[in-house]
Amino acid sequence: MPRTRHFNYGYTIVELVVSITVFSIIVVIFGAALTNAYHEVFISKARSQTTTALQTAMDIIEKDVRYSIEFNGATSTPYNDLYGRGGTMVPNYTWNYTGTGPNARTLILSSYASSQRNVSSARRLVRIDKPTTFYSCSLESEYLPKLQYRTVYFVKDAVLYRRILVDMSSPRCPGQNVAQKQSCPASVFAASKPAICQARDEAIAKNVQAFTVQYLKDDGTPVEHQYAAGGEDYLVEASSVSISLTVAAPPSNNTQSTTLLVTRIN
């Protein structure tokens, strides 16, 4: 009688356990690799965005410094500020270049007011209506005093802000408009704001860890005693500045820094 053969085509329990274990290991390894790859891409994107933000901030600062006419130690009348660093009114707040510490300086720039912000053939400097025996708004007005404004860079709550302070009191020659607008904290625009507030402060950089400013002479050496008592009196010697900006790059919070050396052309 021929022998009957029996064939089993299923898996044994041992084989099934081994297969599931191996498959699970492969899934875990692949998942971890995919997660790490995604994390690296996310960090790389954040780092790239931070680098771009740093460069954009420095481009804005460089333009302001290059076309400024003076580095200031403090603000005073007629460049009045109603708010200072906060969102609550502080009449006639005075800014000081020392800021709140070595890593949070305040940069104060004097510049000439103009009829347009962008460079164009129609752009004109704004003149103060202060006639003399020989000059007036209608007669050789180019010899009259030029209206100025102040640009203030300051750090508050890890954000670097740019504020504009405009001379509202000096009389201007007829028909001359000032392109630069007095700015105030964005929070004051949520309610009834003072008429003096014509624009919002510009947030130049976020997650700021340090904003340092060093004033330099024509020969590139640091201005002496620049942050000592009475140091503002020495800023007149400065023709350029070295500015360093350090920001944290989420989510790792690794810091990135950049330094700008720029000289005034006026």
Specify the pLDDT at position 4.
Answer: 56
Q: Tokens in use for 75?
A: 């603000």
Specify the pLDDT at position 37.
Answer: 56
Specify the pLDDT at position 64.
Answer: 96
Specify the pLDDT at position 27.
Answer: 76
How far is it, in rounded angstroms, from Cα 97 to Cα 227?
9
Task: Parse the chain into domains and list their residue ranges.
Answer: 44-263
Specify the pLDDT at position 3.
Answer: 57
Q: Scanning the structure block, which residue is given the tokens 């274990």?
A: 21
Per-residue pLDDT of the chain (266 residues; tens, 9 = 90+): 555 555 455 567 776 777 777 777 887 776 666 666 555 555 566 667 788 889 999 999 999 999 999 999 999 999 989 899 887 888 789 999 999 999 999 999 999 999 987 777 788 999 999 998 889 999 999 999 999 999 999 999 999 999 999 999 999 999 899 999 999 999 888 877 788 899 999 999 999 999 999 999 999 999 999 999 999 999 999 999 999 999 998 776 788 999 999 999 98
Name the CA radius of gyration of the chain, rounded: 30
Among residues 124, 121, 108, the alpha carbon closest in space to that of 64 is found at 108
Whether the upstream peptide bond of residue 131 has omega within 30° of 0, thus cis, is no
Strand partners of residue 72: none
How far is it, in rounded angstroms, from Cα 231 to Cα 47?
37
How far is it, in rounded angstroms, from Cα 55 to Cα 52?
5
Specify the pLDDT at position 121.
Answer: 76
How far is it, in rounded angstroms, from Cα 156 to Cα 28?
45
46-49 long-range CB contacts below 8 Å, 24 or more apart? Answer: 46/249, 46/250, 46/251, 46/252, 47/249, 47/254, 47/256, 49/249
How far is it, in rounded angstroms, from Cα 70 to Cα 117?
19
Specify the pLDDT at position 218.
Answer: 94
Specify the pLDDT at position 45.
Answer: 65
